[in-house]
Chains A and B, each alone.
Chain A
Amino acid sequence: DVKVTQSSRYLVKRTGEKVFLECVQDMDHENMFWYRQDPGLGLRLIYFSYDVKMKEKGDIPEGYSVSREKKERFSLILESASTNQTSMYLCASSSSGTGKDNEQFFGPGTRLTVL
C-alpha cells in the first residue's frame, strides 16, 4: 500500500522557534510538495522538489525553507515560527509521468499551532 507519512499530526510551538516538518514517501516518487491549507483559501504551494537536492519556490515560500537530501524525504523548515504560520501543512508526492500518473499522494497532514 503506497504511503506518505508526516512526522507529527499535531504540533505546538512558540514564536521564534525553529520548526522541522518531516515527510517520507515509499513510492520512489521523483516529485515532492509542501502545501499549506487554511480555511477558505484551499491548498497553497509552499515549495516543491523534483529531484534530490533540487528545490523550487511555490506560491508562498516566504518564511519557509526546505531540504531534500534523500529521494524519499522532504523536510519543511520554519526558521523562526510566527503566529501567522499556524496552519495545516500537507506533504504530497507524485511520479514524473503524464496525465493521471501525475496524481499526487498526500500525507495525513500536520496541524501546527504557533503561540
Chain B
Amino acid sequence: AQKITQTQPGMFVQEKEAVTLDCTYDTSDPSYGLFWYKQPSSGEMIFLIYQGSYDQQNATEGRYSLNFQKARKSANLVISASQLGDSAMYFCAILNSNSGYALNFGKGTSLLVTP
C-alpha cells in the first residue's frame, strides 16, 4: 500500500523567510507521481506542484520548489519568500496505483506566516 507521512502538524515562519514542509512516502511502484496541495481557511484545495518519479529535475513553480530525494523517499516542499497569504494547510499526496487515479494524502501541515 502507498503511504504519505507528514511529520509536522504545525509550522511557523516569518514573512519573507523560506520554509520547508516535510513529506516522506512509501510505495513499491517503480513509477509514481507526487502532488502538493494548499488549502486556505476558505476550504478549497489548490494544486501547487507535481513531481514525477522519473523526472530528472526537481520541480519548481514560482516560489514553490520540491526537494525530491528519491533514494530517501522524500519530497519536501520549499516555499521561498513567504507571504502572509501562504498561511494554510498543506497536503502532500501520492498517486494510488491501486485505486485508479486516486490520491493518497498525508495528514497535512498547518503553516502560519507571521509579520
Residues of A that sit less than 8 Å from B by CB: 31, 33, 35, 40-45, 48, 50, 56, 58, 88, 90, 92, 94, 96, 99-100, 102-106, 108-109, 111
Q: Measured between C-beta atoms, what is the minimum distance from A32 to chain B in Å?
A: 10
Pick from B33, B45, B107: contact of A41, CB under 8 Å: B107
Given A58-B99, A94-B101, the answer on whether A103 and B35 have CB atoms closer than 8 Å is yes
In the bound complex, CA of A109 to CA of B107 (Å) = 17
Q: Which residues of B contact A56 (CB under 8 A)?
A: 99-100
Chain A residue contacts of B105, Cβ below 8 A: 35, 42-44
Q: A residues within 8 A CB of B33?
A: 99-100, 102
CB closest residue in chain B, given A105: B47
Chain A nearest CB: distance from B2 CB in Å? 11
Contact B99 A45 (CB under 8 A): yes
B19 within 8 A of A: no
Q: How many residues of B contact A (CB 8 A)?
A: 24
* B106 x A102 contact (CB < 8 A): no
- Indicate whether B103 reaches chain A with its CB closer than 8 angstroms: yes
Known contacts being A100-B33, A103-B50, is A45 close to B102, with CB within 8 Å? Answer: yes
- B95 an interface residue at 8 Å Cβ cutoff? yes
Complex: how many Å from CA A48 to CA B93? 16
Pick from B43, B96, B100, B106: contact of A88, CB below 8 A: B43
Are A43 and B91 in contact, with the CB atoms below 8 A? yes
Contact of A102 among B45, B101, B107 (CB under 8 A): B101
Query: Would A50 and B100 count as touching, CB distance under 8 A?
Result: yes
Residues of B within 8 A of A96 (CB): 101
Interchain CA distance A28-B60 in the complex, whole Å? 28
- Cα A56 to Cα B98 in complex, Å, equals 11
